[in-house]
Structure 1
């Protein structure tokens, strides 16, 4: 690409090697979660939420199980201030939930922030100032010492106003633009703030290390977090928090490796809403843990309901391919995938398996409120026989013989390809009925009569070209006798009759379904299906359907 020389790596590796995180295999327990949907997420919306929407969204976050929720920047606007006061004055904050508010390191803003917290039982007060090289030189034009002084002054003012305000307050500090800050300087400024706050075991402090802009590969961020975690003062009394953004598309990886590197806490949003490419997606993080058998300590058991509220409140859309939440993420169109999934689910029905191992499905969709029917296997021109048969079985109770599935699969794919669209289950069922079920042209079966047990003498009445005729024959069974009539009286040549029957369990338990396949003299297999309350009648209808399909093809000028 042109202009590549315009760019370089603007991040900073730790001064010593920090790679202990790479020795860990997976995250073993959930972090402390903090939702920043109502602050960081809300400020990124084209139309920010109004008061009523914020209140409903806050309730959603509580229902999901967030114990820490950043509710806004109350000193920044009347809307944010009013929302916070509404939560407090109407006693809407559950006892086990701690709200968080954001403030710059400026005294009048800190003073108004604490005023907005009057009457709250507990809260996190989140102090920040920018520390990166770009911010120091281009925006604030201040030296490192001046940036440190801003942070120290802010930390002192938090101490002052917390002492003057009733309530239990936890302090949090963020060196904003941490990823563009020299790591030794980030450590220095954080330790200065910690010296002011003097955290204890009973009064811990949060140091939040945001990827305000994601600037490196995830392993670099992990090394930065590990170095900070290993070298912060008062570490046993410090909660290390990460706040990844997704500029490079690595927000989830940044958070996961950050946790391996020592982070105790994660700030993020539902489905990753936020400035630019968004914050880290807590839904994905939580369900990634879930897929490894680790309880995320969040209630994500009804993703469709969460998505409904999220989309209605934010006017944002969860992409069809969004991990876990997207409409199509559990859907297979590919034939081989469909076949493996349907076989995997069927295998579980007959085997006691402790762990979920179905091919192509990372987790069981039902565990997060998704349904197999319509979610997992959907049909288009790329679909295969296994998936098509699975849809018929799940929706309509039809269990096609394996040999029949391939023939029907081609029929369905041809229709989808011709129409250039996805087929819903009813479309597939209609194709099946039209092509195979009780086909009555050119030979329409009317009725039969079984006369003799010794030689299975059977009579059958058939309508041919609008004329009813009755024929009689014997065989080694009633269906064989009727087959002999078709051979001898109707002059239809076929062999190798394939037969399968079962009860129709969906729609009407009193009906029987029979599938019959026959081979023409040219070696082609033709199929038919019969459905009737009487099993023998359904078998005869299936045979006639197969014969009619054979005769229709042989009579066609184009075979």
Structure 2
């Protein structure tokens, strides 16, 4: 039986940390409402103590949506107090508190010890739990933490009341098989692990964020922390649309989400426009070229049966249709297809002559559009019958 994966969206917190991509509170509310419609289970709305604007955004998003709303904190009393206040109107509030778990962070960020970090983590979870909301604990830099200590830390915070434990690959260091083994190790060595949801939060510094997230889910994690378009610190976070479509495409994993995938392209465009951050054309799922075909071999195969080169129906993610891009790499099949769409029915000899002229023009212009084809037809001294 397929198991549900909770989708925790941090576009409005981790995603908004991208330089130059800050949003107003009103803009955040618009995106939050769309995320709720999309089927996201929890929206991380901000870091309330960091600024009055972030505090206000958490308040207004809490008022605007019925889905879970999360506020980030450090493992400090003042952070947790402010977060609880900001979440006052949330129908399902969550405080996301935590501390570094790797020896690198413990020594060089906190100038502390494992023992003190463990004590601080337990205190923070207990204090947040007393606020009457859900509590998620993040073991920052878990991707580089000593596994035995990480297991000890996870067990302690669950015992203290953590509802969710986030095991983040904060620096994007892990490889998929190693990250998967990390999650597996926790399930095998944390006695009370079934009393909490294990969450994965991966960064893309080595381009592994989505692969690591899937590896974590395959090894027992049941919450994925993601952003629209994979935006986020440095090289970004795990992409929501990629995780959703991996699980939808690979049904053999027996994992599913509540994501309404047909809204993905719309939401990708909205976030890109509001944050003034273009989506790279070759971005999986939502990039401009994700369903575009320009190679003649690919175009011919696609026109015969789209499944030859597409594993996803573009309509499933809200893209109206695939596209055939005419370039000097295109073949006769693609040219004939486009001409037929324009109302022309060239025979073989006519198509051969048109194709020669097409290649000359394509080498010059790089990409051929319908106006160029009309020009070619009108200037090719052969009879082309029109429908």
TM bin, normalised by shorter chain, reads over 0.9
Matched, 1:330 2:288: no
Contact kept in structure 2, 1:225 and 1:263, CA below 8 Å? yes
Instruction: Go from structure 1 to structure 2 and tell me whether the alpha carbon gap of 1:82 and 1:302 turns closer, same or farther (over 3 Å shift).
Output: closer
Q: CA deviation at 1:284?
A: 1.1
Instruction: Go from structure 1 to structure 2 and tell me whether the alpha carbon gap of 1:320 and 1:29 turns closer, same or farther (over 3 Å shift).
Output: farther
In structure 2, C-alpha distance between the alignment counterparts of 1:161 and 1:296, rounded to whole Å: 29
In structure 2, C-alpha distance between the alignment counterparts of 1:361 and 1:175, rounded to whole Å: 39
Matched, 1:125 2:72: no
Instruction: Go from structure 1 to structure 2 and tell me whether the alpha carbon gap of 1:141 and 1:386 turns closer, same or farther (over 3 Å shift).
Output: same
Deviations 1:517-559 (A, max 9, x none): xxxxxxxxxx532348xxxxxxxxxxxxxxxxxxxxxxxxxxx
RMSD of Structure 2 on Structure 1 (CA): 2.0
Q: CA deviation at 1:231?
A: 2.4
Contact kept in structure 1, 2:345 and 2:386, CA below 8 Å? no
Contact kept in structure 1, 2:200 and 2:216, CA below 8 Å? yes
Instruction: Go from structure 1 to structure 2 and tell me whether the alpha carbon gap of 1:333 and 1:286 turns closer, same or farther (over 3 Å shift).
Output: same
Instruction: Go from structure 1 to structure 2 and tell me whether the alpha carbon gap of 1:412 and 1:130 turns closer, same or farther (over 3 Å shift).
Output: same
Contact kept in structure 1, 2:172 and 2:205, CA below 8 Å? yes
Contact kept in structure 2, 1:133 and 1:181, CA below 8 Å? yes
User: Which residue of structure 1 lines up, in the alignment, with residue 72 of structure 2?
Assistant: 102
User: Which residue of structure 1 lines up, in the alignment, with residue 333 of structure 2?
Assistant: 386
Match of 2:374 among 429, 439, 455: 429
Q: CA deviation at 1:55?
A: 1.1
User: Which residue of structure 2 lines up, in the alignment, with residue 63 of structure 1?
Assistant: 37
Match of 1:228 among 153, 162, 186: 186
Contact kept in structure 1, 2:38 and 2:263, CA below 8 Å? no
Deviations 1:146-167 (A, max 9, x none): 11111122122123333xxxxx
Matched, 1:37 2:1: no
Matched, 1:301 2:262: yes
In structure 2, C-alpha distance between the alignment counterparts of 1:74 and 1:118, rounded to whole Å: 12
Contact kept in structure 2, 1:386 and 1:405, CA below 8 Å? no
User: Which residue of structure 1 lines up, in the alignment, with residue 105 of structure 2?
Assistant: 135
Q: CA deviation at 1:302?
A: 4.0
Instruction: Go from structure 1 to structure 2 and tell me whether the alpha carbon gap of 1:530 and 1:214 turns closer, same or farther (over 3 Å shift).
Output: closer
In structure 2, C-alpha distance between the alignment counterparts of 1:297 and 1:403, rounded to whole Å: 53
Structure number with higher helix proportion:
2
Structure 2: give runs of 5+ residues left out of the alignment. Answer: none
Deviations 1:334-353 (A, max 9, x none): 111111111225xxxxxxxx
Instruction: Go from structure 1 to structure 2 and tell me whether the alpha carbon gap of 1:33 and 1:150 turns closer, same or farther (over 3 Å shift).
Output: same
User: Which residue of structure 2 lines up, in the alignment, with residue 529 of structure 1?
Assistant: 384
Contact kept in structure 1, 2:183 and 2:219, CA below 8 Å? yes
Deviations 1:374-417 (A, max 9, x none): x4211111111111111122x31334335543432222111111
Match of 2:64 among 92, 98, 110: 92
Deviations 1:169-197 (A, max 9, x none): 21111111101110110111111112222
Taking the TM superposition and a 5 Å limit, the aligned residue runs for 1:319-398 are: 319-345=280-306, 358-372=307-321, 375-393=322-340, 395-398=341-344
Structure number with higher strand proportion:
1
Matched, 1:258 2:216: yes
In structure 1, C-alpha distance between the alignment counterparts of 2:379 and 2:315, rounded to whole Å: 33
- When structure 1 is superposed on structure 2, of 286-295 and 36-45 the one drifting more is 286-295
In structure 1, C-alpha distance between the alignment counterparts of 2:314 and 2:86, rounded to whole Å: 43
**Secondary structure of residue in 1 paired with 2:174:** coil
In structure 1, C-alpha distance between the alignment counterparts of 2:151 and 2:218, rounded to whole Å: 19
Instruction: Go from structure 1 to structure 2 and tell me whether the alpha carbon gap of 1:68 and 1:531 turns closer, same or farther (over 3 Å shift).
Output: closer
Contact kept in structure 2, 1:210 and 1:242, CA below 8 Å? yes
Instruction: Go from structure 1 to structure 2 and tell me whether the alpha carbon gap of 1:105 and 1:92 turns closer, same or farther (over 3 Å shift).
Output: same
User: Which residue of structure 2 lines up, in the alignment, with residue 49 of structure 1?
Assistant: 23
Taking the TM superposition and a 5 Å limit, the aligned residue runs for 1:95-494 are: 97-162=67-132, 169-197=133-161, 205-293=163-251, 296-345=257-306, 358-372=307-321, 375-393=322-340, 395-402=341-348, 404-417=350-363, 419-436=364-381
TM-score computed with the length of structure 1 as normaliser: 0.66
In structure 2, C-alpha distance between the alignment counterparts of 1:133 and 1:271, rounded to whole Å: 32
Q: CA deviation at 1:238?
A: 1.3
TM-score computed with the length of structure 2 as normaliser: 0.93
Instruction: Go from structure 1 to structure 2 and tell me whether the alpha carbon gap of 1:30 and 1:246 turns closer, same or farther (over 3 Å shift).
Output: farther
In structure 2, C-alpha distance between the alignment counterparts of 1:36 and 1:304, rounded to whole Å: 18
Contact kept in structure 2, 1:229 and 1:263, CA below 8 Å? no
Contact kept in structure 1, 2:345 and 2:384, CA below 8 Å? no
Instruction: Go from structure 1 to structure 2 and tell me whether the alpha carbon gap of 1:368 and 1:426 turns closer, same or farther (over 3 Å shift).
Output: farther
Q: Which has the larger radius of gyration?
A: 1
Q: CA deviation at 1:295?
A: 5.4
Instruction: Go from structure 1 to structure 2 and tell me whether the alpha carbon gap of 1:122 and 1:303 turns closer, same or farther (over 3 Å shift).
Output: closer
Structure 1: give runs of 5+ residues left out of the alignment. Answer: 1-26, 163-168, 200-204, 346-357, 437-526, 533-559
